[in-house]
Amino acid sequence: MDPPTGPSLGLYDYDLLVIGGGSGGLAMAKEAAGLRIKVLILDLLAPSPRGTERELGGSSFNMDSIRKFLQQATLLGKAVQDSQKYGWRFRHEVSHGWSELVQAVQEQLKSASLELTRELKSCGVFYLRARGEIVAPHTVEVTDVNGRKRHLTAETLVVATGDRPQYLDIPGDREYCLTSEDLLSLPHPPNRTLVICGCAEGLECADFLSSLGLQVTVMLQADLQGFDLKMAKKIENYMFVGGVDFLHHCSLSKVEQTEGVISVGDLATTPQQASKGRLQVTIISKDGQIKQDHFDTVLLAVGRKACTSGIGLDSVRVQCSQDTGGIVVNERDQTSVDHIYAIGSVQHGRPSTTGLSVHAGKLLARRLYGSDSILCDYTLVPTVALTPLEYAACGLSEEKANLTFGEDSVEVYHSCYWPLEWTLPARNKNSCYVKVICHVPDHERVVGLHVMGPNAGDILQGFVAAMKCGLTKQQLDATVGIHPGAAQVLTSLTQTQRMSEALMLRGNC
């Protein structure tokens, strides 16, 4: 929806101008428009370095959808394997069609983007597919898709440009490597794949590809971002048993393309692939040894970086972190410039989830244009990794709790469990796991809750509200569990890690 070109009735062209189409900015724009505020959103939707088109909604919103679709594809494949134990029989061999999945996902993303555009229009939000750059206080230079420029002014500016996958800045990474947002733009399966992994997206993609029968190797980059270390190790072990190879204590230094080197054992390769050849990677171990190997695809999932370059923040002296590039904000989501705010994953040092960005955006609009004064609470933010064994967490990791309170003040209750639906197909008896981290001096208040198992995110959601209210271990124990159901394990935890470790030392476990 193009903005009006007539003269403004006020001092500025708009009351609120949002640069970027991140989920937080969109939520704020719709909330503000509902309060009769004149709002414009600028979002160019520039493609990825590999040319993958992006849709309105921000990287986090669209990537969350893709992550969920990949997980569901994996779970359906596992369900097919389990189904015979439940009496199902198939007349034909079951196989996976890569192109059908890609087409369905792309159509769904486009449909969601069109629906979002219609929603903005119905709310009265003006949307322009264009690049915005701050050139002076309250002034933004707008460049449309045809390169035409003009200046627009607004009383308040909000930066919601989100983040993008990081690259390694090594030879060949941008030319030959994919990121998670490129994976489902491939017209064919990626075949033998090396995943450079530093975040949940890498493990999610690796398991999805492995579930299709592809050969996958994961190169872990130090500690996984946002993971409790013990939980991360359990996920790694589960994937290793499932057929995923892991490389530790090494780094990728170069990616090159070779000509016509095609492995006979690979999946059917198109003539186009054959002409392009495979990728030769150079790997350096911790002790300096150099090794080379060949893969069909190299996928980078080493984290995400805030999109703050090229939007004119320097011109008005908006303070950004030198380390992350993220925008420094106060408790009101306000930058170092009074009339400029930032929302979502573009912020420095804040947790980043789609749900949090939407919540924060709505609250910001109500503070600026409504009668509310409620600040967004950036603590106890739940997260979920859609890994093969779904992992959801809220609060502190065990390592962070020990660092914050000291090990003597922290008690960790834990248990493995076996979902009832897994018993008939005899799936992985002790792989599902929960742990509750308590601050002992504060009546064993729950400061961290971690669940690894089917539907972990949905299990955790209700407990997050309880943690916001100061949930204690005693209150958790007094909760009646639903049987049969996986969440009931959290209401009957009696074993602590100290007890388990003592039993192991005595040889009783």
Q: Residues with catalytic annotation?
A: 483
**How far, in Å, are 115, 218, 293, 303 from residue 128 at the CA level?**
16, 40, 46, 29
Cis peptide upstream of residue 484 (ω within 30 degrees of 0): yes
Residue 217 bridge partners (DSSP): 194, 245
DSSP state string for 7-68 = PPSSSSSEEEEEES--HHHHHHHHHHHHTT--EEEE---PPPTT-----TTHHHHHHHHHHH
Contact, 190 vs 216, CB < 8 A? no
**Cβ count near 84 (within 10 Å):** 12
DSSP structural state of residue 482: P
Q: Residue type for 101, please?
A: L
Whole-number Å distance between alpha carbons of 191 and 269: 9
With 0-12 / 13-18 / 19 or more C-beta atoms within 10 angstroms meaning exposed / middle / buried, residue 68 is middle
Residue 204 bridge partners (DSSP): none
Total residue length of the chain: 509
Contact, 23 vs 58, CB < 8 A? yes
Q: Residue type for 393, please?
A: A
Contact, 398 vs 457, CB < 8 A? no
Residues 6+ apart with CB under 8 A from 508: none
Whole-number Å distance between alpha carbons of 210 and 325: 34
Cα–Cα–Cα angle for 381, 206, 187, rounded to 5 degrees: 115
With 0-12 / 13-18 / 19 or more C-beta atoms within 10 angstroms meaning exposed / middle / buried, residue 188 is middle
Q: At 430, list the tokens.
A: 């002790």
Contact, 380 vs 394, CB < 8 A? yes
H or E element in which residue 82 lies: helix 58-83
Contact, 85 vs 425, CB < 8 A? yes
Of residues 307, 389, 94, the one with CA closest to residue 213: 94
Place of tokens 């189409």: 21
Of residues 391, 343, 385, 390, the one with CA closest to residue 367: 343
